[in-house]
Structure 1
Amino acid sequence: MKPVLSALTLGVLASLSGCGYLIGDEGYFRDRGSDYQDARIEPRMTVPEDLRSKPIGDLLPVPGQVSAGSVSEDGFETPRPQPLLASADTAAFSLQQDGKQRWLLAQMPASDVWPLLARFWSDYQIPLAQSDRALSQFATEWIDFAKVPGNPLVRRVMPTLEEGRGIDDEEQRFRVRLEPGVNTGSSEVRVLHQNRDLGDDDSEWPASSDIAGFERGLLAELETYLNQSIANQNGGQGSSLANSGPTQTTLEQDGAGNTVLSMSTDFNRAWVEVGDALSRGDVLVTDFNRSAGVYYVDLDQTRSEKEEPGFFSGWFGGDDEEEEASADESPIQVRLTPVSNRVEVTVDAGIETAADRTVAHDLLQKIQSNLNEGPEGGALLLPR
């Protein structure tokens, strides 16, 4: 009985395919390979002003023109999609996050990362209490940031201190640990921060960082430094981020008349130098997103207005409620964009909105004037 039904089914299908009911251009099982040519390009979504986002390019863009070679006698041949650019994933070191946990993923074994970390502490002149290769971890001495405001690492992690949090009469230390990565030949860099009151004898490391911003700031600085070190090694250069020469910069205008600061360097170095320039220019950085290349700044206040008299006293705070109420809901964005062999710095009011031209020009001019002109960070002198 079954062979009879199978033969009958094949006969019915063959008769139906002749009229195109199932397999023809209008059939149910028609070829859908060219349907994308009829797709409509919709305008991009508009993100509400109170939210932040970073641009995402078209992952599989529809080709604007089809070459004649794609059309044969048998009809249109669907072109193969172009491979996605994966440059962001090929960095030797990249920041990773899972919930509240952050770490640095290294595409190399821990044995190769260790000497780079050792050189990091030396270049930034941070004294170490522990450098144990057997345990694969470094631990810094206790540091009073108020005594070393010119140190490059202190300058770069201080803007990550959350608003309303003061560190006067406190000292800080970091632990950096190397762990094997999930993939063969990879490793992970974990950072732990601890703080205590001056004169305290607390020496037990906490389960998680006391100040998450300091952990995040050190990880970001390590990512920049280590990637730059790998680039210098591959290029046969011996310079480091902390001791490299000045960057050539020019103020230009784009086609819309907006001011653009062009920096003749790579993104890693430009990111560090712009952050330093903002700090030296007394510009208040409220947040940053290195992956998107954006510093969020508040031009209605300055860094010094957030301090009480003295070195780093009352950072971001005190008890003045008026300062909290004046927080800018839409901070100005200083955006770094890699273009060919340079980095372009622009000032935006939003993801697709340019800032006021006068404000943008003045801020970029301030950044340019403060690039590579600040005091050099000295060695950390710890009290005896």
Structure 2
Amino acid sequence: MLVRLTKILPILIAFGITGCGMMPYVNKVLPDRKVDYKKEKQAETDLEVPPDLTKSSIDDARMVPDISPAGTATYSDYVSERKAAGATSGAVMPQIGQLEMRRDGDVRWLVAQAPVKDVWYKVISFWRENDILLLKQDAKVGLMRTDWIENRADNKSSFVPDFMRKAFGGTDTAATRDQYRVRLEAGKASGTTEIYLTHRGMEETSREGAAGGDGQATWVTRPTDRGLETEMMRRMMVFFGAPDKRIVADLAQQDERQPRSQLISNKGRSELKVMEEFSRAWRLTGMALDRGGFAVEDQDRGEGIYFVRNTDSGQDAVKKKGFFSKLAFWEDGEVEQENQYQIRVIDAGKTTIVVIQNSKGIRDNSATAKRILELLHEQLK
């Protein structure tokens, strides 16, 4: 699509210089940026509790991101891997008490005055209300992950009007996709739940071929958008029924961002030193894992261990680069292919140490383990 638009750029320029009479129209096609996600038609029927996976309904014939991106993928390949598990539930929606936003530096999360099992159903209902599909729901771990969703506001703010896109063979889909993860944990106070929401993003870019471009597009990662995380949490607060004054007050909290982590070597073994006490470091590490694309299969806060699997890799990813090349630390030839790890968070008084263990609980000092610590450091620093 980007290549086609390049070819018609002279025509667009001609439109742009026809005079001030065009300005009212330009104002309409260049509105303030906002979140306006495309509604998924299957949400009402597919988003029941608790299915394992739900299929995507993004109508995009071009290349789209995959959950196991070992190279490029067509939309048909993407859809074929989305297996619907339509288990239904007739559960009555529980009543949730007060919901408020908490902040620790630049990190935000929500706290609900209700147990995890009740909040779980309410959050499921939130995604359903917004017609957003879930690719994963794991009530045991308290983790849910949305499909890659299209923010139509990005398309509406494009310089190219819809009628011109269609006239020249383009589409009216946005060139970005967003995905959210929500993780629920029992709060410090009895009967409360902490809700952690993280964002991951993709954007479409032109793929250059041997002749300067083959007319196709690929999807690449874009940085985590903390603003989108905050906006989605705000919408969740509204859905939960939080008072307007509470929402405004919570969002007005000042941002205090300071370095939190440092990569160190202890007797030749790599470690991540987090300048926070255990409870805060545990929370921050969990969010860093979510943003980094790791699937938290289980967790034991008492032992300080996250049991994780890297969902952005596959055995083929050792041989080929995928969409998430930044996270694909397994692509180097000397790196081991193990895909399951234990992230150990160790209480050290006023600070905390994070180390990597293999699936058997043995300290791992491999190149892969070092890259995992580097990724966590990048998210925490």
Larger Rg: 1
